[in-house]
Amino acid sequence: MPRHAQRRVRRAPRRSAFAVAVGALGELMLTAGALVLLFVVYMLWGTGLQTAQAQDDLEDELSSRWGQLAPEAPPPDPSELADGDAYGTLRIPRFGDDWEFTVVQGVLDEDLDRGPGHYPDSADPGELGNFAIAAHRSGHLEPFADFPELLVGDVIEIEMADGVYVYELDDAPDGDSDGNRINIDDGWVVNPVPGEPLDTEPTQRRITLTTCWPRFGSSHRMYATGLLVSGPTS
């Protein structure tokens, strides 16, 4: 067979170490990107499904407890609730006419993953002192996603067994994405008298809302606070 007719075997050129490293890095970046995307999907939708189910359970718990009250019977004492129990119903018209969440007693991670949480050591609605609530801004149905949009004069409603308590904000972010930002350890905002020592005797019936800053992080906190303007005991 003539030599020019012989089958020639072509060998692929050898890849340099640099090309191999670049290829491996590219594959790692694609894998990391896919993992990040899956994490985002879980945070936005996966945790939301869990919280939605928890909210249904809390609403049923609240309806059952309040429905068992005899006519003219005194309302149950919220301070006797255990962490994780359904506490009351929170409405913030600034976030939408249909915005409503059942509040849970407690502000540990497992509590806030179920919905807005009442600081157990803070006052109950209508009491002298500071009624304080915390909630997530991202994931878990992101109750406080629009927290920076709160304005002075906005109304906050909390429904309890004995009626609805209405508070009006006198300090809020006022549309500023960095408004009312504080350090993560600034616990003074939930003191009985915000900004004063814990043993200061309160003379007002206040509300304080807290959440994370930035929205997709937790390096700081944001807050809004206001005064009771109406309620069953006001």
Catalytic residues: 136, 212
Cβ-based neighbour number of residue 191 at 10 Å: 20
Specify the residue for token string 């075997």: 9
Q: Which two tokens stand for residue 113?
A: 């993953």
Instruction: Give SS3 for 24.
Output: helix
Q: Which residues contact 182 (CB under 8 A, 6 or more apart)?
A: 189, 220, 221, 222, 223
Complete DSSP assignment for 166-225: EEEEEE--TT-TTTTEEETT-GGGGSSSTTS-TTPPP-SEEEEEEEEESTT--SEEEEEE
- Round to whole Å and give the CA distance between 144 and 134: 9
Name, in order, each residue with C-beta under 8 angstroms of 233's C-beta and a sequence gap of 6 or more.
126, 162
> Distance between CA 42 and CA 140 in Å, rounded?
10
For residue 214, is the peptide bond before it cis, meaning its omega torsion is within 30 degrees of 0? yes
